Structure 1
Amino acid sequence: MEEADSVTGGESARSAAATVAHAEAPAPRPAPSSGIRLLVVRPERVVGETAPASPCAARAPVTLASLVDFAEILAAAGSAACGHDAVPFDIKTVSLSPRPANRLTGEAILQTAPAGLSVWMVTIQDDHERAIATIVLTYALRTAVGPQDPASAGEDPPRVPLAEEDKPETPLDRILAAATDVIARKGFAQATMREIAEATGMHVPTLYAHVKGKDELLELVYAHEMERLVSRLERVATGASATERIRRMMEAALDVSDERRRQIGILNRELKSLRPEARARMIARYRALVGRYEAVIRDGVAAGEFHDIEPLVAANFLDMIGDIWALRQFFFSETPRDAYLEAAVAFALKGLVRD
């Protein structure tokens, strides 16, 4: 068994895996309250232990949030040990029997998965070795090259940095960023306003001073993300030929998809969670967004630049290109962003532009 220094919840799992890989002697066993301790870290298996936030003495069951956080640390440590650059894709709770516990032990096992995906099944037990939860975490792989090789570290294209507008500065921006993180990890149904308030660094009453409740918060997340994309498209959709505007719009949409992959996952997954009236408003916003592509296509058709094609159909195909990049990394984990963009633009323009 390989042993390593303890890793607190705030430390990165990648650093934890590196610590384990280079440890030459067992580290002193910390008290369970000190955080997460990784006992075994191998490419196919990770074992760790932790003390839950609510001690047994309080007779409070272990929270789902703490179980998911523990599972994420174990799975991320395993992905790092595999040399994977992994992006969180999906989390599912297979079984859940929360009960009070003084100590939790978790084992993450790498599962067989399609190319481009890393799937970990995490089983968590209490101090009596009774199963509390089984959680399956799926990651999309940007690279799958084995243990990291310093010589190849610069081969991937650089990630697009966040624009100034993307940095959460106002209280509402911080609330939306925290809500996005909690909902992405737990799903809308399991997320609570208390957890979102804690992630924002606010008290619950302060959070309610900004939003009426969880339903309004989800709608605000949708509206915020759509406005971000609309703003990018509006900047590039003027002052050029229809062909060039389409090219620029596709690149802008892909930039947003690259930066906001987790948020786009929520938009696609949680539409059903919106209240009917909120869902109708979001669909209207989405139609207006697609309408920006449609307007440029109509301009191209009118100018004789594009084929006489149905603009609404073509506009929806163009809009999907960013979603495909954001949500199907299991297909494109080894495809550089610029190569994907070039192929997508060539494919789209082949169908639009007259010879």
Structure 2
Amino acid sequence: MSKKSDSFERCWEGHIEELIKISAKKASAVESKHRQIVEGACRVFFKKGFHPTSMREIAEAAGMSMGQMYHYISSKDDVLFLIHKHMQTSWYQRLTDAEIEEIDDATKKLESALKESLVFIVENKDLIQFIYTESKYLAKNHLKVVLEMDNRNVVEYWRDLIRNASKQQAIDIDIDFSANLIAYIVVFLALRGWNLKSRPVRDSVEFMVDFSFKGLGLSRPRTL
């Protein structure tokens, strides 16, 4: 994991230590168990929804006893909170694996980040749909952190890319509004893809990248 993605991961840790009471000492063990719980919970949540799913069903899906699972979380709200973390870190890891941070050209970097993010969203549409549908059930303490981390990690990522691209092409735009809009546009295919099933994903991705660049007033990088 790169230094930046490692920092991205660590920025959640303080909140997890504060909001989810855990007795395990090693952070790596906690992270591994949380991932195991999230993966199991998602398999059940995607089929049954958040409220109908019991903690016992989550434990069974995660391959844990109830006692073991309660060693790492205290409630179903904690699981929903961890799913948000899982979505953000998985998305950022995808960008890291694609070596987006290694791209020097600002507009090319923005283009590549958009493409990778759009494909990631399509591949994880069940996760995105679940988050947008069930987030209303987040406990207030968790919701406050999730919104903070969305602004700090997701929207700030787009702010940074748009800011650098706007310097390169000298355009005058509202960076904060644009970043929030891009963050929402990126999840469009997961939320409205049901009405676009006959359209190839590649065509949809290209259209949306083009649409985003035009909306930002930027010219897309030329391809050889």
Tell me if 1:187 matches 2:49.
Answer: yes
1:351 matched residue in structure 2 = 215
Which of 191, 195, 202 is 1:331 aligned to?
A: 195
Three-state SS of the structure 1 residue aligned to 2:103 is coil
Partners of 2:158 and 2:177 in 1: how far apart? Answer: 10
What TM-score results when the alignment is normalised by the length of structure 2? 0.76
1:97-130: CA deviations, max 9, x gaps?
xxxxxxxxxxxxxxxxxxxxxxxxxxxxxxxxxx
2:82 matched residue in structure 1 = 220
- In the TM superposition, 1:144-159 aligns within 5 A as none
Contact 1:318–1:348 (CA under 8 A) maintained in structure 2: yes
Partners of 2:35 and 2:175 in 1: how far apart? Answer: 35
Which of 147, 157, 162 is 1:292 aligned to?
A: 157
Three-state SS of the structure 1 residue aligned to 2:172 is coil
| CA shift for structure 1 position 179 | 0.8
2:160 partner amino acid: A
CA RMSD of the aligned region, Å?
Answer: 2.0
- In the TM superposition, 1:267-286 aligns within 5 A as 267-286=131-150
- Greater helix share, 1 or 2? 2
Which of 208, 211, 232 is 2:94 aligned to?
A: 232
1:141-192: CA deviations, max 9, x gaps?
xxxxxxxxxxxxxxxxxxxxxxxxxxxx944322111111222222222211
Partners of 2:32 and 2:173 in 1: how far apart? Answer: 44
Three-state SS of the structure 2 residue aligned to 1:188 is coil
| CA shift for structure 1 position 319 | 1.7
1:258 matched residue in structure 2 = 122
Three-state SS of the structure 1 residue aligned to 2:186 is helix
Contact 1:306–1:353 (CA under 8 A) maintained in structure 2: no
| CA shift for structure 1 position 294 | 0.8
| CA shift for structure 1 position 322 | 2.7
- In the TM superposition, 1:96-115 aligns within 5 A as none
Contact 1:237–1:246 (CA under 8 A) maintained in structure 2: no
Identity %: 27
Contact 2:35–2:86 (CA under 8 A) maintained in structure 1: no
Q: How many residues align?
A: 186
Of 281-290 and 194-203, more deviation after overlay is shown by 194-203
1:87 matched residue in structure 2 = none
Three-state SS of the structure 2 residue aligned to 1:210 is coil
Partners of 1:324 and 1:183 in 2: how far apart? Answer: 21
Tell me if 1:319 matches 2:183.
Answer: yes
1:204 partner amino acid: M
| CA shift for structure 1 position 248 | 0.8
| CA shift for structure 1 position 308 | 0.6
1:332 partner amino acid: L
1:218 partner amino acid: L
Structure with greater contact order relative to length (CA < 8 Å, sep ≥ 6): 2
1:208 matched residue in structure 2 = 70
1:352 partner amino acid: L
1:250 partner amino acid: L
2:36 matched residue in structure 1 = 174
Structure 1 gaps of 5+ residues are: 1-168
2:127 partner amino acid: Q
Whose Rg is larger?
1
Contact 1:251–1:341 (CA under 8 A) maintained in structure 2: yes
CA 1:197/1:298 → structure 2, altered by over 3 Å: closer, same or farther?
Answer: same
| CA shift for structure 1 position 237 | 4.1
Three-state SS of the structure 2 residue aligned to 1:279 is helix
